[in-house]
Amino acid sequence: MTALYIILGVLAFFVLLYIFLVAPSGRRKKTAEFFALQNKYAHRGLHGEGVPENSLAAFELACRAGYGIELDVHVTKDGELAVFHDDTLSRVCGVEGKTESKTLAELKALKLCGTEECIPSFREVLDLVAGRVPLVVEIKGSKIKDATVCKLTAEMLDGYNGVYCIEAFNPMYVRWWKKNRKHIVRGQLGCKMTKESSGMGEPVNFVLTNMLLGFLARPDFIAYDLNEKKRFSFRFARALGGYPVAWTVRTEENLKATENCFKGIIFENIRP
């Protein structure tokens, strides 16, 4: 019997440890109130058919359609904020170089996807949206522990007269908001991380995939890859009260797959 008690004690310890590691904030009511305002968010704006992602035109179309907007914020070489998704410029702008190695003026001179639209500053986007629809602001950055992008984003949003929340893949960024802007709804982005997507080794990828650093940030919502919705870590965090948000919903089939699993969606290519 002594051996059995030891085994049960060890199992209980690891269960409690896992709960501690992945448990969300518990502010489900506050998060639900935010997503009750809008639970459908246009991924990088309402883009397509000559309207590029993360452009002022895409954001204007989303506002007119009444959708919330998900967008990405990078800090530039000169300490400004630009709205752009990738760490590099090749896919969207057709030029070499890292986003964060350019000044805001250099980024604004680049064209998006061969159109006349250029990379906007975060200030331009906030002035355009002007509180018409809620925002999900994804904090981007290549420096894991350098939270400069968080600080600059928070300072700009402090003066914004609209509704927003923040999210990030980097749990250290989410932690910064927990410590410095507790009243803002915050989300942890998640998916199956690989060496190619994260630039990290397998141990780090395992930790990030399974949200084992959740105790640092205690996110209010979990924005998880729709294709990974059956992953145990996501389902467990949801069971513990993490508000579930799906990305990226691209088809009617995807939309149907969100039923009974997700309370909010980030979409593109369709009009839910």
74 catalytic, yes or no?
A: no
**Partners of 249 in beta bridges:** 267
Measured distance CA(25)–CA(15) in Å, rounded? 18
- Position 7 scores a pLDDT of 87
SS (H, E, C) 128-150: HHCCCCCEEEEECCCCCCCCHHH
Give mean pLDDT, residues 5-32.
Answer: 92
The angle, 0 to 180 degrees and rounded to 10, between the axes of the packed helices 148-158 and 171-180 is: 40
CB 71 within 8 A of CB 44: yes
Given a cut of 90, whether residue 200 has pLDDT beyond it is no
Given a cut of 70, whether residue 163 has pLDDT beyond it is yes
Measured distance CA(189)–CA(193) in Å, rounded? 11
Measured distance CA(234)–CA(212) in Å, rounded? 11
Domain 25-267: give its CATH code: 3.20.20.190
Specify the amino acid at residue 174.
V
Question: pLDDT tens digits for 112-134?
Answer: 999 999 999 999 999 999 999 99
Given a cut of 90, whether residue 249 has pLDDT beyond it is yes
- Position 58 scores a pLDDT of 98
- Position 87 scores a pLDDT of 94
Percent of the chain residues past pLDDT 90, beyond the cut: 89
Question: pLDDT tens digits for 53-84?
Answer: 999 999 999 999 999 999 999 999 999 999 99
Catalytic residue of the set 47, 74, 85, 183: 85
Measured distance CA(174)–CA(223) in Å, rounded? 12
Given a cut of 80, whether residue 179 has pLDDT beyond it is yes
pTM of the model: 0.95
Given a cut of 70, whether residue 199 has pLDDT beyond it is no
Instruction: Give start and end residues of each alpha helix (H) in the chain.
Output: 2-22, 28-37, 56-65, 90-93, 104-108, 122-129, 148-158, 171-180, 195-198, 202-209, 214-217, 232-239, 252-257
183 catalytic, yes or no?
A: no
* Residue 64, SS3 per DSSP: helix
Reported confidence tier of residue 143, pLDDT bands at 50, 70, 90: confident
In 3-state terms, the chain is what percent helix, strand and coil (to 5)? 40, 20, 40
- Position 198 scores a pLDDT of 64
Query: Bigger pLDDT: 136 or 8?
Result: 136
- Position 146 scores a pLDDT of 86
Given a cut of 80, whether residue 196 has pLDDT beyond it is no
